[in-house]
Amino acid sequence: MAGEKEYSPSGRDTNGIEDVHKSEHTSEHDSPRSDNDLEATQQDVSEDKETRRVMRRVDLRLLPVLAALYSFALIDRTNLANARVAGADEDLGLSVGERYSLVTMMFFVPYILFELPSNIVLRKIGPGIWLPALATLFGVVSMACGFTYEWTQLLGCRVVLGALEAGFYPGCVYLLSCWYVRYEIQKRFSIFYMLATLASGLANILGYGLSQMDGVGGLHGWRWIFIIEGLVTVALGLLSVLIIVPFPDLATKKTFFSRKPFLSEREASLVTARLEKDRGDAANDEMPMRNIFTYICDWKVLEWAWLYLIAATVSYSFSLFLPIILEADLGYSTSRAQILSFPPYAVAAPWMLITAWLGDKYRKRGHLIIFNNAVALIGLVMIGFATGSPNARYAGTFLGVAAGNTNVPTILTYMHNNIVGQTKRSVASAVLVGASGLSGIIAANIFRQQDSPGYRPALITVIIMNALSILLVAKNLWLYNRMNKKADRGEIVIEGQPGFRLTL
């Protein structure tokens, strides 16, 4: 008897990129396979090898450059904490009242507002121009932060930075999702996000090194943090114009910066065929405003956005405030606090890759999200309440950073596995990343100056949010399974595609 059937939107059996089309086994009573059958099988094997070669090229042209650019987007976004402990506090008066929280928070207001419009522009202009342009511009603004002399000037720079960075991350997520099938995408999301997470962790060490340039050119060390990191971002943005590939349906066309198309007609047909088989939406669909609002209000999209908000709140809490907590609460020196901020991110990297491998292999997402939420919750409890043991509290940061950051690509994959249509995927990507913008505002407001150095109310808030996330995903495991069974019986059609099933 055949094994369990995997459903695709077209109603056909579907396997990942590494699966080879197999002919049915014949019993001793069956007739021998014909020469035509053997030729067809050999052709399938040949096409599969060719497809893998094409996808390796896609990996090399997308993952390293997007990860590098997003790494410096994160660094430019979160280097405020390093600049603060390196002297910006005194020079700009950031410790007065809630100035630091306000400067941190205001980045996320335009970040939320401009994400969806940016993804619409991305589809029209193309990722090879739009994403490098955004990266170059937000690198310039990051450099400008190093030349501010009033806290209000820094605030203005952060607002502009938020507007420019708004479209970059959802644009990267959308571009990646357009190239890969459902049960290989988490590994790609995780590699992309893992490299950025490692760089974010190294940013604290980099920030400490750059702060030692104090006095060079008559500038304080904290200014060099903004200037040098912004300069690297500009250089990467300009270089990426030559590397980032277009969407699959445009990969056979020449670009302004390339005389040769990225893919031949045959290579493009292999890519689009596997996408069509996986979810039935290889071709770009229209983006009328009516559909956009319908997708925004989809209850599943809103739930995924809530889950993503929680995961991003944990991530932002650590990236924005970990050096400060280590220095002010646990009593480490400035240099030691910045150096000790990196090891938790180093642990997060293999954690993230193992989770991605398990998720793609077993085609499960919700179970992994619940597990990581539980681990992050334990880590947050250790940080907030193991007050008699600095070592235990520091150990808690490893659990919180690793599990919390791992849930970011896992939840993105959870969403992308359960929707059909390029427009909906673009809108949902922007909605989820918009939720991460809200999480930045939440993190900036719950970590209040008056709660320093322990920030216990903030930690309790994040603990409660993690618990709510566990309950929501547990509900979805039951509900999605129930919906799949109804679809099996022909009672409902999921995502408007006969044969499509939700990933648990």
Q: What is the CA radius of gyration of the chain?
A: 24
User: What tokens does 248 get?
Assistant: 């699959």
Mean of pLDDT values over 217-244: 92
Looking at residue 44, its pLDDT comes to 55
Residue 164 has pLDDT above 90, yes or no: yes
Residue 25 burial (10 A CB sphere; 0-12, 13-18, 19+): exposed
User: What tokens does 184 get?
Assistant: 């290989």
Contact between residue 332 and residue 326 where contact means Cβ atoms under 8 Å apart: yes
Looking at residue 13, its pLDDT comes to 40
Q: pLDDT digit string (tens) for 108-135?
A: 889 888 988 998 899 888 899 999 999 9
Q: pLDDT digit string (tens) for 388-402?
A: 777 888 888 899 999
Residue 227 has pLDDT above 90, yes or no: yes
pTM attached to this predicted model: 0.80
Mean pLDDT of the chain: 83
Mean of pLDDT values over 162-188: 91
Mean of pLDDT values over 452-465: 85
Residue 182 has pLDDT above 50, yes or no: yes
Looking at residue 402, its pLDDT comes to 92
User: What tokens does 291 get?
Assistant: 């559909």
Q: pLDDT digit string (tens) for 80-114?
A: 888 888 888 888 888 887 888 888 888 888 988 89
Looking at residue 285, its pLDDT comes to 63
Most confidently predicted of 39-43, 165-169, 250-254, 273-277: 165-169
CB under 8 Å to 304, separation ≥6 — which residues? 411, 414, 415, 428, 432
Looking at residue 499, its pLDDT comes to 84
Residue 222 has pLDDT above 80, yes or no: yes
Q: How far apart are CA 57 and CA 116, in angstroms?
A: 29
- Give all domains of the chain, ordered by start, each with its CATH number: 56-247+284-491 (1.20.1250.20)
What band does 281 get if pLDDT is binned at 50, 70 and 90? low
User: What tokens does 56 get?
Assistant: 């390796």
Residue 158 has pLDDT above 80, yes or no: yes
Looking at residue 45, its pLDDT comes to 57
Looking at residue 339, its pLDDT comes to 76
Q: pLDDT digit string (tens) for 300-316?
A: 999 999 999 999 888 87
Q: pLDDT digit string (tens) for 41-82?
A: 555 555 688 888 999 999 999 999 999 999 889 888 778 888
What band does 260 get if pLDDT is binned at 50, 70 and 90? confident
CB under 8 Å to 89, separation ≥6 — which residues? 95, 100
Percentage of the chain exceeding pLDDT 70: 86
Residue 356 has pLDDT above 80, yes or no: yes
Kindly provide the b/e burial profile for residues 138-168, where b requires at least 16 CB atoms within 10 angstroms of the residue's own CB: bbbbbbbbbebeebeebbbbbbbbbbbbbbb
Amino acid in position 3 = G
Looking at residue 442, its pLDDT comes to 84
Looking at residue 27, its pLDDT comes to 41
Residue 287 has pLDDT above 60, yes or no: yes
Q: 164: closest CA among 117, 101, 197?
A: 117
Residue 417 burial (10 A CB sphere; 0-12, 13-18, 19+): buried
- Give rounded-to-5 percent helix, strand, coil for the chain: 75, 0, 25
Mean of pLDDT values over 14-26: 38
DSSP 403-461: HHHHHHHHHHHHHHTT---HHHHHHHHHHHHHHHHHHHHHHHHHS-GGGTTT-HHHHHH
Q: 43: closest CA among 23, 14, 16, 24?
A: 23
Hey, which residues does 255 pair with through a beta bridge? Answer: 258
CB under 8 Å to 13, separation ≥6 — which residues? 5, 6
